[in-house]
Amino acid sequence: MLHSSSVTVSPPPEVRRRSLGQVAAWAAVLLVVGLSFPGSEVSPRTLLDGLGNSWRYLFGDPARPGSGFFPPDFSRFGIYLTQMGLTVKMAVLGTVGAVVLSLPLAFLAARNTSPSPLAYQLTRRVLDVLRGLNEFVLALIFVAAVGLGPFPGILALVFHTTGILGKLFAEGIEDIDEGQVEAVRASGAHPLQILGRGVWPQIVPHVLSMTMYRFESNVRAATVLGLVGAGGIGFYITEAIRGFDTRAASAILIIILASVFLIDFVSARLRQRLQ
């Protein structure tokens, strides 16, 4: 007669270390979240108490006839539409300029294509700086340098987006199949041919997808750069809100939202076809 006995199998040491690491990571996340509350003045009660004020601001106060954002005032629809078109142009030029700058930087910032550790570290830090400077900050700098208008807004988008796309492109380069690169290298190709035939064909879908995604983001960013005098429809919405012309502001917001929805829809379809 056979007797069954329970056998306790302990997990391997590496599994235990991984589990302890995950627990420590989650504990650190919860600690950071908990430490973020003091001083942040987060108050659900204040939010609930202020919802009535938000409602009156958006839909009007019965004691103040004509207040509120509705109905929208489309009397200057042609001007708003032209300025929205200018905003999209800013996003297009900002994105194209960023792609031109970020591609060579991405090859320098990828471990498997950078010519040296020093070039890798320096390029990574440059991308960190560009990515860390907000479009608003850059727009203020360029407005002081070249004056008001869409040009400083385009420059702000170019440099900020270069920092983002450079990092994204570099990560895509680091994830390529090195076997294809070795096959090109074994054929006697020089470094530029290796990049052109071994690396570039593998990252084209990634580059196109990330470019379209950043174009969507740049359209949204460009709509508000006018707040600092960097051109586009943001200038008009700033003037409308400052002048308490809330119905004109409502019309501008509707045009912005409709444009963003349309661009997001078209961009999503293009990304699906490119994948």
Q: Which domain holds residue 230?
A: 77-274
What's the N-to-C CA distance of the chain in angstroms? Answer: 62
CATH code, domain with 221: 1.10.3720.10
**What's the pLDDT score for residue 169?**
92
| Any domain includes 12 | no
* 125-129, 207-211, 229-233: the lowest-pLDDT one: 229-233
Residue 80 has pLDDT above 70, yes or no: yes
**What's the pLDDT score for residue 260?**
85
| Any domain includes 174 | yes
Residue 213 has pLDDT above 70, yes or no: yes
Q: How far apart are CA 187 and CA 196, in angstroms?
A: 14
Which of 271 and 45 is assigned the larger pLDDT? Answer: 45
Q: How far apart are CA 270 and CA 185, in angstroms?
A: 33
Residues 230 and 150 sit within 8 Å (Cβ to Cβ): yes
pTM over 0.75: yes
Residue 48 has pLDDT above 60, yes or no: yes
Residue 7 has pLDDT above 70, yes or no: no
Residue 152 has pLDDT above 80, yes or no: yes
Q: What residues does 64 pair with on adjacent strands?
A: 61
Q: In terms of DSSP H, where are the helices of 60-149?
A: 77-109, 117-132, 135-146
* 86-90, 119-123, 187-191, 199-203: the lowest-pLDDT one: 187-191
- What total number of domains does the chain contain? 1
